[in-house]
Structure 1
Amino acid sequence: MAQLTLLGLSGALRQDSTNSKLLREAARLFGECTYVEASLRLPLYDGDAESAQGIPSEVAVLAEQIASADAVVISTPEYNKGPSGVLKNALDWVSRTKDAPWKSKPVAVMSAAAGRAGGERAQMVLRGFMVPFQPRILQGPEMHLADSSNQFDDNGQLVSEFYQKTLTQLMQNLRDEIAR
């Protein structure tokens, strides 16, 4: 069997964000795969710019990464009770591309946030944003990483056995969904 490709989308732009760390830990726990972390440094969606210049190359790259991945893992921070604007902007742009790259794609959604709910509201809203794309979003276990800045060791691994177990099961479920 060919090696699986796992694509990570972090709703935070900071290189050392806890959402990016959570994606990398998810890829580690997923097991053997080619892990690619997409860049969401995209121009703001503007219909006039799209009409005049077409789909930006960065968006075309992202859409192709989604289409060619065996599965996608999305991790969102919670900003004002919702996902980041960066993530929403990326979803809006990709929705304008051809060939529906999200359709039937296995997707695991997770969140990391400073608060005690671990981004639960942002994750719920993100799941709603994904409905028009018709991916195969895993229903659980839900991964809401609370107090996220204190949850990783110096190697970027989760320190809590509870969170490790939850994320390991989510990644196993994602593997099972790919095989389905």
Structure 2
Amino acid sequence: MAAILAFAGSNSSTSINFKLVQHTTSLVQNNDIQILNMAEHPFPMYSEDHEKEKGFPDAVVELKERIKSSNSLILSVNEHNGNPSAYFKNVLDWLSRIDRKFLEGTKVLLMSTSGGKRGGKGSLAVVENMLPRFGAEIVATFSLPSFYDNFSEEGILDETLKNEHQNALSTFLDSLKQ
């Protein structure tokens, strides 16, 4: 049984990426899943001065420990102007200051969604390139375009997108058995 940590790279209380994470984890069986709602985890903006004066925030240390205690991650990143949100970039900055390889040995299902037709693909590409620098193994990716047209409380509505999502999830879960 795999230990999976799941969260969205958004601190919005109405995050559609968190909704995608919740839906994705609802499809996973026989694994230990811990879901974090990042809207409940504030972090100060990273600065070298803050680090020198106050050290690492307890919330960042706790998140790093949760990541380390998991061997896999389901992550959906939001997009602001074609890039990851400042919030998520800040989280990565803090984590990488504690331990540059904080994702070493971690298998990742990386997803994104947005209300637009590109589905957060700009942010997805940036994060897909960034996470391996911290030791992550990106096993599968999935982007859900036009969230409000393609998603409901029942899940992904478009059959082609639903199948793509399921294939990405299956690839990820299969990699955890190896």
One-letter identity of the residue aligned with 1:114:
G
| Aligned twin of 1:12 | 10
Instruction: Mark the runs of 5 or more structure 1 residues left unpaired by the alignment.
Output: none
Contact 2:132 2:138 in 1 (8 A): no
Aligned length in residues: 175
Report if the CA contact (8 A) 2:101-2:133 is conserved. Answer: no
Match of 1:61 in 2: 62
Task: Give the letter aligned to residue 11 of structure 2.
Answer: L
- Structure 1 residues 31 and 161 mapped into 2: Cα distance closer, same or farther (>3 Å)? farther
Aligned to 2:32: 34
Please state if 1:52 is matched with 2:53: yes
Greater strand fraction, Structure 1 or Structure 2: 2
**Structure 1 stretches of at least 4 aligned residues deviating more than 3 Å after TM superposition:** none
Aligned to 1:82: 83
| Alpha-carbon distance in 1 for matches of 2:100, 2:77 | 25
Q: Is the 8 A contact 1:83 1:125 kept in 2?
A: yes
Q: Equivalents in 2 of 1:61, 1:28: separation in Å?
A: 24
SS of 1:130's equivalent in the other structure is helix
Paired residue secondary structure (2:63): helix
- What is the distance in 1 between the residues matched to 2:12 and 2:92? 19
What's the C-alpha RMSD, in Å, of the aligned pairs? 1.8
Q: Which has the higher contact order (CA 8 A, sep 6+)?
A: 1
Q: Which residue of 2 aligns with 1:146?
A: 145
Structure 2: give runs of 5+ residues left out of the alignment.
none
> How much has 1:58 moved relative to structure 2?
0.2
TM-score (norm: length of structure 2)? 0.89
**Cα distance in 1 between the residues matched to 2:160 and 2:31:** 24
**Structure-2 residue corresponding to 1:107:** 108
Q: CA deviation at 1:152?
A: 2.4
Q: State the alpha-carbon separation in 1 of the partners of residues 137 and 42 from structure 2.
A: 25
Distance 2:159 2:2 in 1: 26
Alpha-carbon shift at residue 37 of structure 1 (Å): 2.5
| Deviation of 1:33 (Å) | 2.6
Provide the rounded CA distance (Å) in 2 between the counterparts of 1:119 and 1:99: 26
Q: TM-score, normalised by structure 1?
A: 0.88
Percent identity over paired residues: 25
